[in-house]
Amino acid sequence: MSSTLKSLRLAAEPNRLRLLLLLEQEELSVAEMQEILAQGQSRISTHLAQLKQAGLVGDRRTGKNAFYRLKAPAELMDLLRRAAREVPEVAGDRQALRLALRKRHDHMRRYFDEMAGKFGRQYVPGRSWKGVAEALLKLMPPLVIADLGAGEGTISQLMAQRAKRVIAIDNSEKMVEFGAELARKHGIGNMEYRLGDLEDVPIRTGTVDLAFLSQALHHASHPERAVKEAWRILKPHGRVAILDLNRHHFAEAREMYADLWLGFTELEIERYLKAAGFRGVETAVVYKEPEAPHFETLLGTGEK
């Protein structure tokens, strides 16, 4: 009886309850649990040590990594699943677990991450990121594109080479003036610059094929509203692409770059997209800068 009561008391703590419910679904490493729960390694390790001592979890070692698995009796887990209704974070844990497992099994992404890191380190005549970008742009069908948070419009002008029309939106009058003058100077006639805000885009509803936000969302006061605006202006089956910073701790970015948010997690981007109504949502970390503070670029896509 004392052992049962001890297990109940131990498992009743919300974070340990969350860990047990996660391990019921999948064997996980400490690093994966850190990512899912957004908690530090020492706290999670302490909880796991207590659960292991009570015989509720076990572990196995693979090289330097330890993977934890559930050993708790089914009767206890039945109680914990019912108690989970009182812990609001559990629903989010399920989504975060799915993302963590997708990362684990995404061997293709890891392969291309490794290859991308080598691209450009050695000189090969004619090989460049610009060449690759130009080739991909030529393959893109002619679309009506909204570049939201376009800045001076460097990407807008690149996309205009192939796009049917590009509407570049920025909330800085100087940026809009500079970008518009640059487009005139280079004879880019299928581009239009408009002064506007990410959360109140000056584009008619349902008129755009692609909504593109490149390093813009972390400047929005309410990112979820900006994503909903992207959904509003898209035609049915239109697509959104968000390139932004993965969550980081370089607080100086607030002063240096006027950033309102220190990046976003994959789960946050996925939630914004799904809450706005997008389908087929996918997220991935697509680049990590080699120099400190090692900013990572996060890509999120979806279809209206």
Say if CB 47 and CB 21 are below 8 A apart: no
Within a domain: residue 168? yes
On whether both 73 and 151 belong to a single domain, the answer is no
Within a domain: residue 203? yes
SS3 156: helix
* Encoded tokens for 287: 């680049």
**229 has pLDDT over 60:** yes
Q: Which of 105, 139, 169 is the last residue of a domain?
A: 105
Which pLDDT belongs to residue 113? 58
Within a domain: residue 110? no
Within a domain: residue 115? no
On whether both 131 and 56 belong to a single domain, the answer is no
Within a domain: residue 114? no
Q: pTM surpassing 0.75? A: no
CA 205 to chain centre: 26
- Mean pLDDT for 135-143 is 85
Where is pLDDT greater, at 85 or 302?
302
**Please, which residues have CB within 8 angstroms of residue 255's CB and are 6 or more apart in sequence?**
none
Q: Could you tell me which residues are beta bridge partners of residue 283?
A: 300
- For residue 10, give Cα distances in angstroms to 4, 29, 72: 10, 21, 12
Residues 183-224 pLDDT 10s: 999 899 999 999 999 999 999 999 999 999 999 999 999 999
Say if CB 303 and CB 278 are below 8 A apart: yes
Phi and psi angles of residue 195, each rounded to the nearest 5 degrees, phi first: -80, 125
Q: Which of 105, 134, 159 is the last residue of a domain?
A: 105
Which pLDDT belongs to residue 123? 58
Where is pLDDT greater, at 52 or 140?
52
Q: Measured on CA atoms in the order 134, 137, 142, 145, is the torsion positive or negative?
A: negative
On whether both 137 and 260 belong to a single domain, the answer is yes
Q: Which of 54, 78, 105 is the last residue of a domain?
A: 105
Q: What percent of the chain has pLDDT over 70?
A: 91
Residues 75-115 pLDDT 10s: 899 989 998 889 999 989 988 998 888 777 665 455 555 65
Q: How confident is the model at residue 2 (pLDDT cuts 50, 70, 90)?
A: very low
- For residue 98, give Cα distances in angstroms to 62, 106, 266, 267: 22, 12, 11, 10
Exposure on the CB side of residue 216, measured as CA atoms within 13 A: 30
* Encoded tokens for 137: 């742009």
- Mean pLDDT for 295-301 is 95
On whether both 138 and 101 belong to a single domain, the answer is no
| Domain of 168, in residue numbers | 120-303
Residue with tokens 């807008």: 156
Which pLDDT belongs to residue 117? 54
- Residue 94: give its domain's CATH number: 1.10.10.10
Q: What is the DSSP letter of 277?
A: T
Can you tell me the distance from the alpha carbon of 50 to that of 65, in angstroms, rounded to the nearest whole number? 19
Within a domain: residue 111? no
